[in-house]
Homo-oligomer: A and B are copies of this chain.
Amino acid sequence: MRSKLNQCNKIVIVGAGFIGVELSDELKKTGKEIILIEKLPHILGLCFDEEISIKAEQVLTENGVILKTGTGVKELSGEKKVNKVLLEDGEVIDTDAVVLSMGYEPNTELANESGISTSKQGCIKVDEYMRTESPDIFAVGDCAQKHDFITRKACCTMLASTACAEARIAGINLFKLSAIKTFSGTISIFSTMIGDTAFGVAGVTETQAKKEGFDIITGVFEGIDKHPGTLAGAKKQLVKLIVGKESNVILGGEVIGGSSVGELTNIIGIIIQNRMNINSILTSQIGTHPLLTASPAGYPLLKAASNAASKTIFNHIS
């Protein structure tokens, strides 16, 4: 694929999930003309809240990628190879190549042939030990059924890190089951990088939480990922927390920043999986260092929790 794309000057990429966005960014770095098509109103639209997606769009377009959002692809055409893309809005784009990054489905062929049950969503049914309905057979990874840690509903998170977490559970239960080593539900947790700006999410977004019926508040803070912010390589760092209004428990978080975003997202993941609430975050200790983190007085995760706390205290007024 890489050697074929090297010979192209103009490439259309269809689908602006992580794969489409990262591929656009990487191919743009090689100097090609890149057009990214997304049917949803915004790129990464299933992953992040709108305002975070818009920031990702800004970085991507500043780097030179051309975005066409809110329109799908109606037809790919050409002789011998595709060289035209007809969009749903009527626009026709000439191109040297088209890359489809439009998602994937679980491969359950082997399970189906073996008589192992699959779910309505087409995933292999598993319990919290990752056992299929056939007790000597375990299933993990993209083919295995998932239940969301927060919504407690079936979900379709397909991530290498999720697959590895499930594999750990299966591994430690292979020879004998252990009731303290079960899988308590899938959390969406991932990060991506566009140019030198990283974006991360753990748990549910504000949009997802509201859609599921959670009564929530949010807390947001933007700071700098080193201190003082004048240090070389310092990047803005934004943290948004999604918090249950009654429980004050953290349901999700989104992050924008520099190279520390991957592990910062993992902090939020651990917070969610421990069902920590705003108070337990505000009374926690974090470590800071000028070159490695935000300042202790302006650490965005704590400040976002503090911002959410201010809404809780006054929510009887609003």
**A128 (CB) vs chain B CBs: closest residue:** B283
Copies in the complex: 2
- Nearest B-chain residue to A180, judged by Cβ: B279
Is A191 part of the contact surface with B, judged by Cβ < 8 Å?
Answer: yes
User: Which one of B186, B192, B193, B279 contacts A285 once the chains associate, using CB atoms below 8 Å?
Assistant: B186
> Which residues of A in the span 276-304 have a Cβ within 8 Å of any Cβ on B?
276, 279, 282-289, 291-293, 295-297, 299, 302
List, in ascending order, chain B residues with CB within 8 A of A14's CB.
none
Among the interface residues A183, A285, A306, which one has the most CB atoms of the partner chain B within 10 A? A285
Residues of the B chain whose Cβ atoms lie less than 8 Å from the Cβ of A132: none
Contacts of A295 on B, CB cut-off 8 Å? 160
A: interface residue count bin: 35 or more
- A292 near B181 with CB under 8 A, answer no
With an 8 A cutoff between CB atoms, is A145 at the interface?
no
A202 nearest CB neighbor, chain B only: B287
Instruction: Give the Cβ gap from A135 to chain B, nearest Cβ, in Å.
Output: 20
Known: A165-B283, A168-B283. 8 other contacts (CB 8 A): A159-B296, A160-B297, A184-B283, A191-B293, A193-B292, A266-B267, A269-B285, A270-B271
Query: In the complex, what's the smallest C-beta–C-beta distance from A174 to chain B, in angstroms?
Result: 14
Q: Nearest B residue to A264 by beta-carbon distance?
A: B263
Task: Give the B-binding residues of A (Cβ under 8 A).
Answer: 159-165, 168-169, 172, 178, 180-184, 186-187, 189-193, 198, 200, 202, 259-267, 269-271, 273-274, 276, 279, 282-289, 291-293, 295-297, 299, 302, 306
Would you give the shortest CB distance from A278 to chain B, in whole angstroms?
Answer: 10
B262 touches A161 (CB 8 A): no
Which of the residues B168, B169, B192, B288 comes within 8 Å of A289, measured between beta carbons? B192
How distant is the Cα of A261 from the Cα of B262 in the complex, in angstroms?
Answer: 11
Contact A289/B193 with A259-B259, A260-B263 known, Cβ cut-off 8 Å: yes
Q: CA–CA, A263 to B192, complex, Å?
A: 17
Residues on B with beta carbons closer than 8 Å to the beta carbon of A193: 289, 291-292
A284 B269 Cβ-Cβ under 8 A: yes
CB–CB B189/A287 < 8 A:
yes
Nearest residue (CB) in B for A159 is B287
Are A296 and B161 in contact, with the CB atoms below 8 A? yes
**Among B159, B181, B266, B276, which residue has its beta carbon within 8 angstroms of that of A279?**
B181
